[in-house]
Amino acid sequence: MSTPRLRFAPSPTGYFHVGNLRTAIFAWLTARQSGGKFCLRIEDTDRERLVLDSIRAILESLSWIGMDLDEGPSLEELKKAGYSCEGVKDMGGDHGPYIQSLRLPRYKEVAELLVEKGYAYRCDCTPERLEEERAAQMARKVPPGYSGYCRDRDVPKDKPHVIRFKIPHGEKIILNDLVRGEIVWENPALRDTVILKSDGFPTYHLASVCDDHDMGITHVFRGEEWIPTTPIHIKEYEALGWEMPQIGHMPQVLGDSGKKLSKREGAVSVDSFREGGYLPEALFNFLALIGWSPGEGEEQEVFTQKELIERFSVKKINKAGGVFSYDKLGWMNGMHIRRLSIEELAKRVKPFLENAGLKVDDKILLEITPHIQERMTVLTEALGLVSFLFVDKIEHELKSMFAKGIDAPKAIEILQMGKQLLNELPTFDVASVEATIRGMVGKFTYPMGAIFMVMRIGVTGKKVTPPLFESIAILGKEKSLHRIDQAIEKLANA
């Protein structure tokens, strides 16, 4: 068997959607497990919907999530096609160009070949004529669509025209889909389709077939919304005498409601997950399990990329769509956070702190990281948990002290004792801080939780923090005492 060649063929028309990423993940896993190639092709023939910067976002996201590419647009191609390529890795390959807008002569050549062979024809119907035809069909209550008016008109080359592919009528068309098995179209009601537009740009039907062939693609993985286009593509392969790649239509990524994913449910760009503090390994793992599972009775859900490469199987891709659930993603992200080494987790957390304007001390961050590792679902939560260590001035959530019988005078009393005892400590480490604060409990009639809360807010300013004794010990004596002083002063003046 020849080396499998798979491709990811996004259209740079806006943000990089998780549904497209999931389909790319299945293709990438298949390529990696079979020793095949994974290629990126930019399908930029829809000039009206083009968003110039989206190619860079796609490349960055693929690299962030750890999906390496074997072939794809070179920097020169990107530049030539007018895309920004700052910070983008140079790629290229033997089957370029990998950007469709740079392949126009080839599409023209193939379209002309189809005309020559009698499988396609020039059509010069004006939009007005097409509209009239449509209105008449509607009036007759027949499904609207091109009538084939130009099929036998022999429209000359020098008149503005499109090229249409002739769809044979009354023919049964069969696809052996990698995911869905046999799909049969009994006499599909298809109309002659435009494959080359009057501006020289191809439509998806021509560009996709032509490129998959020219790039030696052996397996086409694409979203199920493309199923209806397949009969056209099958007939094109036949007309051109080209071997057809195997095609698999991937199940949809659905929202919680079981319907199309909405923004609230996760239809946001892949980079927004990075910004939201999700780990690439978690997003990858989570998406790989949407529409695929390693097997019945398998309970393991947290996988490394390497494990997924080993376990993935196209045969186990489901026909039915899979649900994108933020709860599940959050759970999985937490699981992956706990799998990181302390050094690695500190490294991942640091940019989130710095982006929020904190001046991070690496040593302190390393000390506190083990104490937040269990407490985070997303990396962005680190900011709220550890910022007290990296700022000069804190706000005190004083009101949260006032529970379980505590009021301002009582809180001052507790803080004053805490300050005095902590100040007397010869060594300021977790054990001595713990012994001191636990020792305070017997000296008051208030419950332990209330005393701890007053001390927690006194030192860190916040109600939710890493463990209390560790937080105080890592902050250090001088700063801890200073913050207690500030809290006392604020309480006294409140």
CB of 289 to ligand GLU, least distance (A): 21
| Residue 449 three-state SS | helix
16-45 footprint of ligand GLU as x/- string (CB under 6 A): ---------------------------x--
Residue number, 226 or 452, with CB nearest to ligand GLU: 226
The total of other beta-carbon atoms located within 10 Å of residue 486's CB is 15
In angstroms, rounded to a whole number, what is the distance separating the alpha carbons of residues 3 and 178? 17
What would the x/- binding string for ligand GLU be over residues 43 to 62, using CB under 6 A? x-------------------
Quote the least distance from Cβ 247 to ligand GLU, whole Å.
9
Q: Which residue has the tokens 């978690």?
A: 282
DSSP 8-state secondary structure symbol assigned to residue 313? -
Segment interacting with ligand GLU (CB under 6 A) among 8-16, 296-304, 341-349, 482-490? 8-16
* Residue 486 Cβ vs ligand GLU, minimum distance, rounded to whole Å: 56
Q: Among 5, 11, 103, 334, indicate the residue that binds ligand GLU (CB under 6 A).
A: 11
Angle at CA of residue 457, ends 454 and 463, nearest 5°: 105
For the CB of residue 238, give the shortest distance to ligand GLU in the complex, in Å: 18
Query: Closer CB to ligand GLU, residue 226 or residue 326?
Result: 226
- Give residues with Cβ within 8 angstroms of 98, minimum separation 6: 39, 40, 41, 42, 71, 72, 73, 74, 77, 91, 92
Q: Please give the distance of CA 13 from its chain centroid, rounded to a whole number.
A: 16
Instruction: Select from 74, 208, 436, 460 the one that contacts ligand GLU (CB under 6 A).
Output: 208
Quick one: 98 or 469, whose CB is closer to ligand GLU?
Answer: 98
CB of 397 to ligand GLU, least distance (A): 48
Whether residue 202 has a cis bond before it, omega within 30° of 0: no
468-475 vs 362-372: helix axis angle to the nearest 10?
A: 180
Please tell me whether residue 122 binds ligand GLU under the rule CB under 6 A: no
Rounded CA separation 42/224 (Å): 19
**Which of these segments, 5-13, 125-133, 260-268, 465-473, binds ligand GLU (CB under 6 A)?**
5-13
Question: Can you read off the two tokens belonging to residue 314?
Answer: 């196209």
What mask of x and - would describe binding to ligand GLU in positions 212 to 231, judged by CB under 6 A? ----------x---x-----
One-letter-per-residue 3-state SS of 362-386: HHHHHHHHHHHHHHCCCCCHHHHHH
Closest approach of ligand GLU to the CB of residue 209, in Å: 9
From the list 9-17, 119-127, 327-335, 414-422, the region that binds ligand GLU by CB under 6 A is 9-17
**Which one, 41 or 371, has the nearer CB to ligand GLU?**
41
DSSP state of 290: S
Nearer Cβ to ligand GLU (222/483): 222
The stretch near ligand GLU (CB under 6 A) out of 3-11, 114-122, 182-190, 443-451 is 3-11
Output 20 or 387, the one with its CB closest to ligand GLU.
20
In whole angstroms, the minimum distance from the beta carbon of 11 to ligand GLU comes to 4
Q: What is the DSSP letter of 398?
A: G
Does residue 10 interact with ligand GLU by CB under 6 A? Answer: yes
Closer by beta carbon to ligand GLU, 10 or else 202: 10
Asked if 369 contacts 327 with a C-beta cutoff of 8 angstroms, the reply is no
Which residue has the closest beta carbon to ligand GLU? Answer: 222
Cβ atoms < 10 Å from Cβ of 101: 20
Q: In sequence order, what are the residues at sequence separation of 6 or more whose Cβ sits closer than 8 angstroms to the Cβ of residue 404?
A: 446, 447, 449, 450
Q: Toward ligand GLU, which CB reaches closer, 26 or 352?
A: 26
Q: Note whether 74 binds ligand GLU by CB under 6 A.
A: no
Q: Give buried/exposed letters for 79-96 (b at 16+ CB in 10 A, else e).
A: eebebebeebeebebebb
* Count of residues in contact with ligand GLU, rule CB under 6 A: 7
Any catalytic annotation for residue 197? no
Cβ 364 vs Cβ 374: under 8 Å: no
List 263, 306, 363, 393, catalytic entry: 263
Distances (CA, A) of 231 to 177, 181, 204, 228, 435: 12, 15, 13, 7, 76
What is the smallest separation between the CB atom of 300 and ligand GLU, expressed in angstroms? Answer: 30
Known catalytic residues? 263
Residues forming the site for ligand GLU (CB under 6 A):
9-11, 43, 208, 222, 226
